[in-house]
Structure formats: C-alpha cells, structure tokens
Amino acid sequence: MPRIRRLPETLVNRIAAGEVVERPASALKELVENAIDAGAGRIAVKLTDGGLGRLEVIDDGCGMSPDEMALALERHATSKLPDDAIEQVATLGFRGEALPSIASVARFTLESRTEGEAQGWRTVIDHGAKKSDGPAALPPGTRVVVENLFGKIPARRKFLRTPRSEYAACLDVVRRLAMARPDIAFTLDHGDRRTLALQPGQPLETRVAEIVARELKDNGVSIDLQRGPMRLTGLAGLPTYNRGVADQQFLFVNGRPVKDRLLTGAVRGAYADMLARDRHAVLALFVELPPEDVDVNVHPAKTEVRFRDAQGMRGFIVSGLRQALGTGDRRSAQAPDTAAMGRWQQEPVATENAPAMASIFSGRDWTAPQDNGVREPPQPWRGGETVALDAPQGRAELAEPGEPQAEYPLGIARGQVAETYIVAEAADGLVLVDQHAAHERIVLERLRAAGAGDAVRRSQALLMPEVVEMDEPVCDRLEDAIDALAELGLIMERFGPDAMLVRAMPHSLSKADPHRLLADIADDIAKHGEALLLGEKLDLVLATMACHGSVRAGRVLNVAEMNALLREMERTPRSGQCNHGRPTWVKLSMDDVEKLFGRH
C-alpha cells in the first residue's frame, strides 16, 4: 500500500485555493474584503482583461509591517480573530486562507505601509515560490497585485471564461461590497476606462439606487425595522417595478453579501400576491443581528450562512417587507412607458392646403354668413362657474370640476375611457386608473380582512386517506414541514420510511392530486428551504375569488362610483398594483402634458 505522507505546503495551499479561488472575481472578493476590514476609506480596483491578466486593489487602510506581511502569507494566520470565539466573528474575513491561496496560483505582489513608518515593504511570490522581498515606496495603506492567475495550472486556466464574462463577475463583486459600505469610496477601472466611481458618505438608499438602477429610488420604498436585536434596512422596489430574472436581488447579513435560500424564499413570500410567478422583485436588504445568532463559517467562500432561528428570521423579513410596501405601495411604477409616450406625435404643419382641403374650400363665398358651422354656443357669465356638459346616453357623465384635487392623491374622476379606464384630474397631473385591476386588489384585501384566507385554508378530510410513496429523503423533507403545512390545511403524517399518508387537503384544493401536490411541495422545499408553493396556491384561490368579485372592464361607471373607487384605493394597502404585479394606475405629470403640446 502507498505510505501516508504529509503534503507539501505549496500543494496544501493549491488545494485550499480550489475552494477559495475559483476565478478572478473570487480573488478580488477576498482582497476587497481585506481592505474593508483594514478600515479603508477609499478602495481602488484596476482590472486588465477582466482580471485574467491582472487585477490590483489599493486601499488606504491601516497597513501591515514587514513581519505581519510575512505572517499573513501563512495559512490560518489572521488578525481578525483576537480569541478563539469563532462564533463572534465581526469582520468579513476570518479564516486566514485567502492570501496564501491566491499566492499559490498566481504571481502575487503585496505592498504595505503602516501610518508613521518612513517606507513600506514589498513581497513578491510566484505560484507559491518567493521571488523578492524588500522596501517599497507607497503611501500608508496596502496595494495587492495578482497577475497570471492559474498561469502554471493549465487544468484550471482552461475552465476560465472569456475576459468579458470574468469582468462581469468582478463588477458584480465590487458592486455588492460597495452597496454594503456606503461610507467607503470605490473606484473600478477596466483597462483605460473607469466603469465605477462612488463617493464616500452617501445615504444607503442613494448608494443602492446608484449601483442597481437610478429608477429604483423613485420606484422603491425604504425599509427600517427593528425587532429586538435584529434590524432590517434597505430599499425594496415596488411590485410594479420588477424583472424577468432575479439578478437584482441583493441580500446582506451583517454587511456580508450572501446567497441564502431562506432569504430568497422570504423575499418571494413577501411579494407572493403582488407579482406574477415569472416576475421577480428588485431590492437590496441588509440584515443586522448578533454574530452568535448566525453561522458564517459554513463555506470557505463565506457566501452561505445559517441562522439559529431560521423561521423567526424569515417571518421578520416577510413582515418588514410587507410593512414597508404597505406604507408606500399605493404608488406604482410612475415613469410613463417611453415607447407609448413616443407615439404621441404632433401633426406636421403643412405649408399649403392638401388637395382634398383645396377642393372643399374652392368656390366658397366667404363673405356670406355661415350658419351651418360648428361653434360653441354663447354662455352667460356666471362669476367663474363652469357649466358641465350633458352626458351622452349609456356613458358615464363628466364630473363637476369644482372639487379640490389637492385633497386627494388620485384626484377627482372626470370621465371614463373605453369603459375600462377612469380618467382623474389630480393637483399635479392626469391619472389613468384600470378599474378592474384596482377593484381586484381592493376586493382581495377585503376578503383577507374578513377572514376569507382562513376559510380557504380550512381542511377537508379525505374519505379514504391517500398513501403517497416517495423517496426517503423527500419524505424527510416533507416530515419536517408537517406542522407548517397543517396550518395551511394539508394534514399528513409519515407512513413508513418511503411514504406519506395524506388525511386532509385544503378545502379550496380538495380536488387536487395529492401525489402531484406533495411532489411539487417537496421540490419547492429543496429549492427554497421551505414550503412556499402551497401558500401560493391558496393565495391564488383568493386572488381568483377577488378577480370574479370585482368590476369588469366594459362596465359603465357613474361619477360617484368612480370617485368611490378612487377613495377606496387611497385607503387600501398595496393598491398600486393588482394581484399579478401590474400597475393599477399611472400618472402623467402636467409637465409631460405640456411638453406634448409644445408648451415647454
């Protein structure tokens, strides 16, 4: 048999690098996190060929002495754990693996100088072998250069992507870390082009909107919720401001960017009845809690975390998001669609009459009185009072314009278009309301307030309990969720190692196939860490009830009904969007109206 031996240090570092350094973005993440932990106020990142050729990180942090630099290049040597209490980690890095791992798979240059020292120090390591060591001239802080990543490991190098793809991954890393620390200035240069420049001391909402999308600040709500030692802050986009992919959902725990199934599931649950299934919210959430309540030592890359009270954390996030959306969600995404606005075209001014017009005007005696023309009948002066026009038969009459619009955010109804859209005049613009979508949200909130959700979740016992056979790991997942599913009306129990016994189904889903339902729920638990699917199905029943109980498009409303609908919308939570995430109303500001007529 081959003899057991100790692996050489260089090989150990390369094995560790396989977990820590997957691509240039992985190395960049570790270096920027070190700069943040060093107390930097400014961090500059420079990339060449997406980081494949070279990446450089410069900070103005505390710096290191030559002895500390040598120690930092050894495995499991760190200044971020002052004692053995690993559950009290308060920094982004703590494992002491990043620098030696990166130095073992690239040409690595480390320069640093502490405040008060006359000069700095430079150490150069090429794929684990020290090349040079000596003084260097640089301001206080640290400069790290990584070149030729995986240059001597072709098996790893060939799995790297194109420079454009690697640059996109590096940009995402810097954006996430910059989002978490609005007090730090960040710059990112790719080649000769500066692609990111963030000033220090920005408010959190401003930093998030500048990084994610500038429209988010106008189409989002701020979050700030405290519950005991836990705090939730951030910026959440309105349901009507959504995307087809979940690539703009940024989640942070104690300032650490994470990708956590529980947090993702909580976001999906909070937006459950406000977004279509194929749409995703845009947001940045920052969770702060005591370090001992979260385990960050789950994976070497430190992107996964585990919460001591997972269900409590999920409920905290869902309630925080819903509370924030409940205060600001009477709004919808207000920017008019650019393509729709572009269709409002002014008629071209003709320099001469068209031939058809010429034939009409030719031969007319313009000196004779014209009694057959269309003109406004004379109205007696009534001291500024405006006379309403008579309403045509079968149509909604026009509203009296004497009511003050300033008292109502959605204004006063003035009429109805296509028997579907309410036209209202507000103090600051023109409001169009989709009457069916708006009433659908109002009816849904009424059903919930009246306890209809409890009725939908009421259990209906099966005449004969159904045995559903599944793999043992799948049954284990379902068994862990038995209590949560029972609250939704699905009563079941374990029936041997590889089967579940279903005794009752939710009343509104009594005709569903138990086999398919349990399989879908098990897949949902595997993907999101909890059973969200059943709750969404029941919410869909409520939404369907609301849809059938609301006024339809094509229904003629009188002015009193239209105004009553507007006032109810102003009192109803989440009235800015229907149950499917579409806006219930849009506003065209008076400035935009005047631009259409060339007044601006």
Q: What is the CATH number of the domain that holds 282?
A: 3.30.230.10
- The number of helices, as runs of H, and strands, as runs of E, in the chain is 20, 24
CA distance 12 to 239: 49
Q: Judge contact between 416 and 563, C-beta under 8 A.
A: no
In terms of domains, do 278 and 419 share one? no
Number of domains in the chain: 3
Q: To the nearest whole number, what is the mean pLDDT of the chain?
A: 80
Is residue 286 within 8 Å of 257, Cβ to Cβ?
no
Residue 108: inside a domain, yes or no?
Answer: yes
CB distance 434 to 585 below 8 Å = yes
What's the Cα-to-Cα distance from 519 to each of 73, 526, 594, rounded to whole Å? 50, 11, 57
Residue 351 placed within a domain: no
> Coil, strand, or helix at residue 428?
coil
25 occurs within a structural domain: yes
Region class of 150: left (phi > 0), else alpha (psi between -120 and 50), else beta: left
Are 516 and 598 in the same domain?
Answer: yes
Q: Mean pLDDT, 10 residues at a time, over the chain (600 residues)?
A: 77 69 91 93 95 94 92 79 66 78 92 92 92 93 94 84 92 94 95 92 91 86 90 89 85 89 84 78 92 80 81 87 72 52 46 46 48 44 39 45 64 86 86 86 76 69 90 88 84 90 82 83 76 66 69 79 86 77 81 76
Query: Are 38 and 164 found together in one domain?
Result: yes
Residues 239, 163 within the same domain: no
Q: 491 with 588, same domain?
A: yes
Strands 193-198 and 129-136: unpaired
The answer to whether residues 580 and 444 belong to one domain is: yes
Whether 364 is covered by a domain: the verdict is no
CA nearest to 549, candidates 444, 478, 456, 461: 444
pLDDT (0 to 100) of residue 443: 80
Q: What CATH number does the domain containing 510 carry?
A: 3.30.1540.20
Alpha-carbon span 165 to 429, nearest angstrom: 44
Contact 248, 199 (CB under 8 A): no
On whether residue 450 sits in a domain, the answer given is: yes
Residue 107, φ and ψ in degrees, nearest 5: -85, 115
**Strand arrangement, sheet containing 220-227:** 220-227, 230-237, 283-288, 249-253, 256-258
134 and 227 part of one domain: no
186/210 same-domain check: no
CB atoms within 10 A of CB 463: 6
Total-model pTM:
0.70
Tell me whether strands 120-126 and 129-136 are parallel, antiparallel or unpaired.
antiparallel
**pLDDT value of position 374:** 39
CA distance 490 to 483: 9
The last residue of a domain, from among 182, 198, 214: 198
CATH number at residue 53: 3.30.565.10
Which residue, 316, 344, 365, sits at the end of a domain?
Answer: 316
- The CA distance from 345 to 596, in Å, is 8
Q: Which residue has the tokens 């942090």?
A: 61
Are both 127 and 21 inside the same structural domain?
yes
388 part of a folded domain: no
Find, among 396, 397, 410, 399, the residue nearest to 442 by Cα: 410
Answer yes or no: is 380 within a domain. no
Structure tokens at 126: 């090429």
In terms of domains, do 163 and 182 share one?
yes
Residues 227 and 189 in one domain: no
Residue 346 lies in a domain: no
389: left (phi over 0), alpha (psi -120 to 50) or beta: beta
Give one DSSP letter per residue of 97-166, joined into a string. -HHHHHHTSSEEEEEEE-TT-SSEEEEEEETTEEEEEEEE---SEEEEEEESTTTT-HHHHTT---HHHH
Residue finishing a domain among 171, 198, 225: 198
User: Does one domain contain both 261 and 177?
Assistant: no
Give backbone dihedrals phi and psi of 112, rounded to 5 degrees, phi first: -155, 155
The neighbour count for residue 239, using CB atoms within 10 Å, is 28
Question: Rounded to 10 degrees, what is the CA torsion of 424, 576, 568, 551?
Answer: 80
- Which residue range forms the structural domain that includes residue 563? 399-600
Q: Is-contact 425 414, C-beta < 8 A?
A: yes
C-alpha distance from residue 576 to each of 121, 242, 383, 410 (Å): 59, 13, 39, 11
